[in-house]
Structure formats: C-alpha cells, structure tokens
A = this chain, B = another copy of it.
C-alpha cells in the first residue's frame, strides 16, 4: 500500500486526562517501561530486526508487522530471539493479518474440512495501481535499502503466506520474473531518484503434493485498487476470494446436482462464520481494519493462555526465504529455484 503521509499529532490534553494512555517517541524508552508488556512494530522493514530482538530481550511480547524483515539473515536472528524468549514465556507473532479476514478464515476452514477436496491449483494475485502515475513520488517503499523489495515484499508476501496457510503446504521452489516499468521518480525532497525495487513480480511454484501455484504482485495495474485475489481449485470444488469485496467468498461445490451447480457468493457476515459471533446482525459487512482487531483479540487471548499465536516468526522467516528464492530465480532467467527448508 502507499506509505502514509501523516505526521504524529499530539494527544489532546483534555482527552489525555480521561484515558490512561501515554506516548514515547523513542522505541528504546518503551522497552524500559515496566507497564509495557506488548510491542507492536510498525516501522519500515529495515528496523524490524533490531527492535524485535531488543523487545524480546527486554521481556516484551512482540507483534511484528509483515514483512518480518528485509533479509533472510535478519529474519533468522529474529526467530532465534523468539525461541529464546519463548523459553521465558514471551511470545512473538508476525502480522499477516489477512489470515483473520473472516472470508479468508472461512476459506481455510472449508479447505481443512475437505469441502473442495484434493487441491490442484492455487492462483494468487495482489494488484494495486498507485504507481501507475510516473510522477508518484519516490518514497521509502521504492528504495531497496528500506523496503527490502517492491511489490514482491509489500504485496507478494501476503500472497505467499495466504497460499501456504490455506493450502497447508509450503512451496518447494519457485520460478520468477520481475519488472520495473518506471525507473526514476521525483524525490519528496526535490530532484529525481532511482527506483531500486520491482513494480511487479510474477512467479510460479509447486507444493510438494504437486499443486501448481501462481503468483502475481503488482502496483501498476490501472483500476485495481486493492485486488488481493486468491483461488483454490480442488477435486470437489473451488473457492475464490477478492479483497475488493472483502465480505464475500465464492464457492463452487461440484457435488451439487449438475443442473444447479455454480459459484455461489457466500456473504461472510453470518453468525456461524469466523469472528462474526462478536459483530453485527446477518448481512452487515465488516471493513479492512477488522482483521487487525481480530489479530489483536487472538493475540491477547494467546498471551493470556500462554500459547504462542500463529503466524510465528518462523512462518515469517519461511516467507522471507520464498521471497529470496523469487529474487534469485528472477536473476537467473526464471530458472526454478528451491526454497530451503528450515
């Protein structure tokens, strides 16, 4: 997504007097406070490893927004820190929040319950268009040293996590091409600078079971505002999700009578759907941020229960390895490149 331009506004004093909150502008000060138990890391990716490792060492629980890190090495260090912390009862999780969008959670439940049978295909794409304009500014998301990669890490990481999480398998290897269509953009501070990340990344892969998986992440697909789409085709049916209609899940059930079969549009707004027991009456949709609410809820419950909440830092590391394999493959004429196991 485009980086926020908002600057930190001071808390209104009148409001501060009525609610017990406080703010720090140096993250190290947060770690020194005894009344802070949980740290949510929302910085650009180049600071994740440093802050997360320090926070875990300081005895905090950690929610690190995705990407876990900007490199496999950083992610490995974070996993090590998380393992040490866990021995002391401190928990770490990475913020692949789309897992907690109700329609996605329902898709996982249905796949687990065998509703679509043995998987054959997964196809996943995440398309946006905020870089179509060649005069869109050169923000940190377009610089490799801060963002790690471009559409690949920003959008593709979500796809990799969702495809693996919902299918219950991990990619054995990938073949990839990437592209950058606009090479120079205006710096926010004046002048022009070089884009050092990808505008788009396309890759294919296989799960060990033989499932064929395709991915596309891109930020120059005119008119696609937030089009995270993922489809699963199985031997008994199919499921498809599109974030631009985030309260819906498409489901095809091959076992229906042949004359009445078709993709159905499940409105994932009913009492029996994941997370919906706490929300509105039937048919009343949720928004983008509710996935974050569910993430916070699940995390707090997990901490209370002393059980580490998925996705683990190890999941974040594995996604990092997939992204690294994608970049390797793209550098080697798309040749199939294995993803190392942990």
Contact call B226/A269, Cβ cutoff below 8 A: yes
Q: Looking at the complex, which one of B222, B226, B265, B270 makes contact with A282 (CB distance below 8 Å)?
A: B226
- By beta carbon, the residue of chain B nearest A225 is B283
User: Could you say how many copies of this chain the assembly holds?
Assistant: 4
List B contacts of A227 (CB < 8 A).
283
| Interface residue A175 (Cβ < 8 Å from any Cβ of B) | yes
Contact call A262/B262, Cβ cutoff below 8 A: no
List B contacts of A210 (CB < 8 A).
179, 181
* Minimum distance in angstroms from A214 CB to a CB of chain B: 5
List B contacts of A254 (CB < 8 A).
129, 132, 222-223
Q: Looking at the complex, which one of B4, B132, B218, B225 makes contact with A269 (CB distance below 8 Å)?
A: B225
Q: Interface residues of A, CB < 8 Å — how many?
A: 89
A227-243: CB near B (< 8 Å → 1, else 0) gives: 10000011111100001
Additional A-B contacts beyond A177-B336, A222-B235 (16; CB < 8 A) = A1-B282, A116-B222, A120-B220, A134-B235, A204-B334, A214-B216, A220-B233, A221-B238, A223-B254, A224-B233, A225-B267, A226-B284, A263-B264, A280-B287, A284-B288, A287-B290
Contact call A223/B282, Cβ cutoff below 8 A: no
Q: Could you say which of A18, A110, A238, A332 has the most chain B C-beta atoms within 10 Å of its C-beta?
A: A238
List B contacts of A134 (CB < 8 A).
235
**In the complex the two chains form, what is the Cα distance from A246 to B120 in whole Å?**
27
List B contacts of A311 (CB < 8 A).
none
| Interface residue A34 (Cβ < 8 Å from any Cβ of B) | no
| Interface residue A341 (Cβ < 8 Å from any Cβ of B) | no
| Interface residue A322 (Cβ < 8 Å from any Cβ of B) | no
